[in-house]
């Protein structure tokens, strides 16, 4: 490639030792990498737990794990993947790394708060994992519905609550930081409608975080009171109301789906134009559909509760509101397709993952609209259909985009390219494994296999075994990725400053960037997607 | 307390860049978005103080916690009828005095802030102490009410919600009194809060007004409704 002037990260004198990644660093780029690596380590833990689930489900009887351990494993799998992998990485990692570049700032608005928010995560995660070894982890699923969560062993449940409170606090502090950075820290002259789409996605996400996460915190404190002080908020046996917990929980946890998915929408909007060499189609409609999703995302929570005795008017309202979300989401999909249409598409690893995201997410989105319809939802509620839908959204959607983004921004992080053949191997294994794992679960759910149970009717054996083979492929897919990421950090091809000839501001500086992001003043990027309009400098 | 720590983060991090980079790469010196030591020509100097905006966002989030608890309380009242004899008539005298105390303390705090802007450090600290004393009196009176009530935390659903809501608010008041005392300490002669630099005081004031406002809503929902 062109540049040999830029030394890779290991040799670049402008970069301190790797020990800064273990320090209380205030540099948004270091914090971003900290989020990413920590998140990925927890992804490996959550992946091992997923492997244990699929191993258990390879046979109809509970022979590999006891029922209690199975419940602990599935609870920890969900909690770790959501709160320690997807939310921190898709928000914290890429948000911290990219947002200051995109708004033309040298750091986040509150750098110290940022570091505090990150350093709340490792203790929370370790605490959660440690609960396995001190009296058993929580067994009530990542939703912790009472009265189940009041009957399972109290210690594991309390550790779970404490850990989620810490992670929620971290998320809120991060969200405040993103909103202030995006709204108040833009370089002069940079208008909101000139911002790269990821900024809008993070603004919307952070609004959801600030509005909904505190409600979860209050709810979990009440749940803790029920467990410790034997109050009866959510305990019907002593006059409480378990459905109130579900309302409050989903008031956070439905927006949490958008907290996991909106940033991925933003990231894919950054990646597609670069590798298709075309402007992002429909920028304005993209912005308004993000805002619409934020608004609608706050008023659809009870579609998770159609079997919880919700009155008919509530079912009607939440069905209609949920179906409406398909409109802004559909707008975004057609915009992405139109961005690709007629472009000079480079089918590299980043692009493959991004295109697969579109395929997977359409499937997950369609099953989402189906689940919003009360008659269908009552039929498949708490079956594997829901599991399949959810994983098509967060794995087929968000995790694919996390991988796509790592392939796309790795040269920015390290100054070196990732190996393409290994990347494509990673993609093929992930894509085939993912669809093999979760595709059959639609059928399983439609035919009535309940989720969260370690035993099942023998008629479901074949489909479960296919699903487990898919899970094995997904586990194997991690190997080429790990080898690639570690090997390329030292031996990868030198990338130069802007290997993709991208126009967004983070590429208009050296790779890896200096501590203050730009040697001089921040560039004013009026057309972050001006491919074919603005001259691109190689 | 988060608001205070975030506030101090922006002021101190101008001098606390953790990584030394080669000076030739950024000849303009140490730059930080919220700092005020920027060389002319660099754009960051135009940014106003956005710490208050961060605090407002934090209070919005905090307010959502209360909103969730209020919603739970109202739903419980609407759909979970208490057993006979489970409804208590709350005494209104003490809570009304409490409300008056807290509302008045918002005015005394405001007065302290005005004194500071006028450069009256002594007056400012005096009014701060009065505010803190009123906050402490509120807490003491709340405690007195707790002791006089005929029900405990686990008596029934209403009792549990009552204690959690007032307790959570009391926690906020406790933190607020601590903040006021910290500000009082910092506002001494030669301290970090003076007529030029008074973000800490304004942040504590906004927080105090917020806690005050929450109490008015809480009083209306629990005692009057």
| pTM (predicted TM-score) | 0.90
A23 Ramachandran zone, left/alpha/beta (phi>0; psi -120 to 50): beta
- Say if B14 falls within a structural domain: no
Given a cut of 90, is residue A203 above it in pLDDT? yes
Closest chain A CA to residue B81: A239
Residue A537 pLDDT level (bands cut at 50, 70, 90): low
**Residue B167 exposure: Cα atoms within 13 Å on the Cβ side:** 13
Handedness of CA A202, A204, A210, A212 (dihedral sign): negative
Q: Which of B111, B105, B116 is nearest to B141 (CA)?
A: B105
Q: Residue B162's domain spans which residues?
A: 65-71+92-224
Given a cut of 60, is residue A278 above it in pLDDT? yes
What letter does residue A24 receive in the DSSP assignment? Answer: -
* Neighbour tally for A210: CB within 10 Å: 23
Closest chain A CA to residue B6: A113
Q: Which two tokens stand for residue A78?
A: 């969900």
Distance CA A6, CA A20 (A): 21
Burial readout B184-198 (b: 16 or more C-beta within 10 A, e: otherwise): bebbeeeeebbeeeb
Q: B110 to chain A nearest CA, in Å? A: 26
Q: Which two tokens stand for residue A320?
A: 């209609």
Q: Which three-class secondary structure state does DSSP give residue A308?
A: coil
Touching A: B residues 167-186, CB under 8 Å: 168
Q: For B41-60, how does the pLDDT look when each residue is reduced to its tens digit (9 = 90+)?
A: 344 445 668 999 999 999 99
Mean pLDDT, all residues of chain A: 93
- Say if B11 falls within a structural domain: no
Test the A interface: residue of B23, B44, B63 with most A CBs within 10 Å: B44
Calculate the CA A100 to chain-centre distance. Answer: 20
Specify the number of domains making up chain B. Answer: 1
Query: Can you tell me the mean pLDDT for B111-136?
Result: 93
Query: Can you tell me the mean pLDDT for B64-87?
Result: 88
* Percent of chain A scoring above 90 in pLDDT: 87
- Say if B53 falls within a structural domain: no
Question: B75 at the A interface (CB within 8 A)?
Answer: yes
- Say if B180 falls within a structural domain: yes
**Residue A239 exposure: Cα atoms within 13 Å on the Cβ side:** 19
Given a cut of 70, is residue A347 above it in pLDDT? yes
Query: In Å, how far are A147, A201, A448, A515 from A260, measured between CA atoms?
Result: 27, 11, 28, 29
Q: B202 to chain A nearest CA, in Å? A: 18
Residue B2: predicted pLDDT: 37
Give the range with max mean pLDDT: A9-18, B89-98, B214-223.
Answer: B214-223
Given a cut of 80, is residue A454 above it in pLDDT? yes
Give the DSSP letter string of A119-130: HTHHHHHHHHHH
Residue B24: predicted pLDDT: 34
Given a cut of 60, is residue A1 above it in pLDDT? no
Q: Which two tokens stand for residue A7?
A: 């030394």
- Say if B13 falls within a structural domain: no
Residue A532: predicted pLDDT: 81
Q: For A417-443, how does the pLDDT look when each residue is reduced to its tens digit (9 = 90+)?
A: 999 999 999 999 999 999 999 999 999
Residue B10: predicted pLDDT: 39
- Say if B28 falls within a structural domain: no
E strand residue ranges, A20-122: none
- Say if B125 falls within a structural domain: yes
Helices and strands (H, E) in chain B, number of each type: 6, 0
Higher pLDDT, B15 or B70: B70
Distance CA A285, CA A306 (A): 32
Sequence-separated contacts (24+) of B217-225 with Cβ below 8 Å: B217/B66, B217/B70, B218/B66, B218/B70, B218/B165, B218/B166, B218/B169, B219/B95, B219/B98, B219/B99, B221/B70, B221/B73, B221/B74, B222/B73, B222/B90, B222/B162, B222/B165, B222/B166, B223/B90, B223/B92, B223/B95
Q: Are B50 and A109 in contact (CB under 8 A)?
A: yes
- Say if B156 falls within a structural domain: yes
Residue B160 pLDDT level (bands cut at 50, 70, 90): very high
Give the DSSP letter string of B83-124: PTT-------HHHHHHHHHHHHHHHHHHHHHHHHHTT-HHHH
Inter-chain touch A185–B33, beta carbons under 8 Å: yes
Q: For A284-294, how does the pLDDT look when each residue is reduced to its tens digit (9 = 90+)?
A: 999 999 999 99
Q: For A80-96, how does the pLDDT look when each residue is reduced to its tens digit (9 = 90+)?
A: 999 999 999 999 999 99
Inter-chain touch B13–A26, beta carbons under 8 Å: yes
Query: Can you tell me the mean pLDDT for B157-181?
Result: 95
Facing residue for B153 by CB, picked from A211, A214, A231: A231
Residue B27 pLDDT level (bands cut at 50, 70, 90): very low
Q: Are B51 and B199 in contact (CB under 8 A)?
A: yes
* Residue B28, Cβ density class (10 Å: 0-12 exposed, 13-18 middle, ≥19 buried): middle
* Chain B hits for A515, Cβ within 8 Å: 17, 19, 21, 26
Give the DSSP letter string of A125-160: HHHHHHTTTTT----STTTT-TTHHHHS-HHHHHHH
Test the B interface: residue of A20, A29, A100, A112 with most B CBs within 10 Å: A112
Distance CA A76, CA A131 (A): 10
Q: For A100-121, how does the pLDDT look when each residue is reduced to its tens digit (9 = 90+)?
A: 999 999 999 999 999 999 999 9
Residue with tokens 């990485």: A89
Test the B interface: residue of A232, A308, A518, A524 with most B CBs within 10 Å: A232
Residue B32: predicted pLDDT: 41
Residue A10 pLDDT level (bands cut at 50, 70, 90): very low
Q: For A311-323, how does the pLDDT look when each residue is reduced to its tens digit (9 = 90+)?
A: 999 999 999 999 9
Inter-chain touch B76–A241, beta carbons under 8 Å: yes
Q: Which of A490, A393, A494 is nearest to A434 (CA)?
A: A393
Assign residue B207 the CATH number of its domain: 1.20.120.80
């Amino acid at each position: 490639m062109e540049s040999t002037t830029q030394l890779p990260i290991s040799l670049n004198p402008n970069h301190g030792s790797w020990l800064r990644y273990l320090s209380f660093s205030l540099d948004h780029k270091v914090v971003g990498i900290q989020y990413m690596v920590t998140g990925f380590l927890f992804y490996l833990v959550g992946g091992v737990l997923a492997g244990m689930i699929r191993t258990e489900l390879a046979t109809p009887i509970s022979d590999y794990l006891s029922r209690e351990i199975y419940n602990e494993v599935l609870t920890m799998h969900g909690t770790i993947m959501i709160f320690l992998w997807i939310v921190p990485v898709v928000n914290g990692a890429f948000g911290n790394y990219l947002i200051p570049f995109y708004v033309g700032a040298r750091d986040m608005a509150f750098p110290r708060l940022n570091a505090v928010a990150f350093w709340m995560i490792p203790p929370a995660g370790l605490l959660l994992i440690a609960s396995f070894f001190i009296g058993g982890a929580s067994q009530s699923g990542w939703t912790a519905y009472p009265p189940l969560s009041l009957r399972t062993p109290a210690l594991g449940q309390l550790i779970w609550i404490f850990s989620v409170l810490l992670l929620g606090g971290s998320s809120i502090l991060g969200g405040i930081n993103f909103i202030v950075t995006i709204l108040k820290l833009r370089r002069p002259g940079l208008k909101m409608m000139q911002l790269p789409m990821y900024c809008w996605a993070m603004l919307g996400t952070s609004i959801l975080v600030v509005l909904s996460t505190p409600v979860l915190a209050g709810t979990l404190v009440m749940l803790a009171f029920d467990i410790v002080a034997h109050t009866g908020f959510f305990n019907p046996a002593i006059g409480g109301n378990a459905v109130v917990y579900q309302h409050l929980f989903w008031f956070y946890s439905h927006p949490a789906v958008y907290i996991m998915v909106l940033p991925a929408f933003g990231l894919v909007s950054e990646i597609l134009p670069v590798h298709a060499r075309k402007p992002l189609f429909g920028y304005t409609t993209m912005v308004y559909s993000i805002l619409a999703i934020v608004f609608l995302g706050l008023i659809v929570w009870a579609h998770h509760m159609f079997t919880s005795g919700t009155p008919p008017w509530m079912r009607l309202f939440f069905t209609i509101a949920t179906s409406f979300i398909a409109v802004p989401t559909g707008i975004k999909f057609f915009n992405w397709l139109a961005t690709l249409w007629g472009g000079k598409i480079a089918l590299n690893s980043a692009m493959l993952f991004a295109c697969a995201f579109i395929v997977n997410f359409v499937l997950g989105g369609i099953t989402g609209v189906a689940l919003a319809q009360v008659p269908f939802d009552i039929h498949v509620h708490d079956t594997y259909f829901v599991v399949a839908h959810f994983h098509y959204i967060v794995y087929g959607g968000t995790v694919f985009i996390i991988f796509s983004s790592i392939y796309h921004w790795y040269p920015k992080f390290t100054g070196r390219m990732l190996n393409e053949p290994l990347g494509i191997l990673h993609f093929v294994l992930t894509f085939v494994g993912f669809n093999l794992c979760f595709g059959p679960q639609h059928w399983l759910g439609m035919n009535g296999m309940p989720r969260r149970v370690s035993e099942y009717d023998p008629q479901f054996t074949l489909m479960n075994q296919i699903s487990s083979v898919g899970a094995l492929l997904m586990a194997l897919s991690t190997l080429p990725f790990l080898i690639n990421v570690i090997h390329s950090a030292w031996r990868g091809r030198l990338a130069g400053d802007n290997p993709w000839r991208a126009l967004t501001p983070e590429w208009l500086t050296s790779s890896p960037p200096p501590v203050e992001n730009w040697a001089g003043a921040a560039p004013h990027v009026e057309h972050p997607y001006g491919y074919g309009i603005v001259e691109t400098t190689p | 307390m988060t608001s205070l720590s975030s506030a101090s983060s922006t002021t101190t991090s101008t001098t606390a860049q953790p990584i030394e980079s080669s000076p030739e790469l950024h000849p303009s010196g140490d730059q930080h978005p919220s700092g005020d030591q920027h060389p002319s020509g660099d754009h960051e100097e135009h940014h106003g103080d956005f710490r208050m905006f961060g605090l407002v966002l934090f209070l919005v989030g905090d307010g959502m916690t209360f909103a969730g608890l209020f919603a739970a309380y109202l739903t419980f009242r609407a759909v979970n009828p208490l057993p006979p004899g489970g409804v208590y008539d709350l005494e209104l005298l003490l809570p009304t005095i409490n409300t008056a105390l807290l509302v008045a303390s918002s005015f005394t705090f405001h007065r302290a802030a005005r004194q500071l802007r006028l450069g009256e450090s002594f007056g400012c600290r005096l009014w701060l102490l009065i505010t803190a004393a009123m906050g402490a009196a509120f807490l003491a009176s709340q405690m007195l009410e707790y002791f006089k009530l005929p029900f405990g935390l686990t008596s029934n659903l209403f009792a549990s919600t009552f204690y959690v809501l007032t307790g959570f608010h009391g926690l906020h008041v406790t933190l607020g009194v601590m903040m006021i005392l910290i500000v009082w300490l910092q506002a001494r002669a030669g301290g970090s809060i003076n007529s030029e630099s008074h973000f800490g005081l304004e942040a504590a004031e906004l927080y105090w007004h917020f806690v005050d406002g929450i109490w008015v809503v809480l009083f209306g929902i629990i005692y009057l409704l």
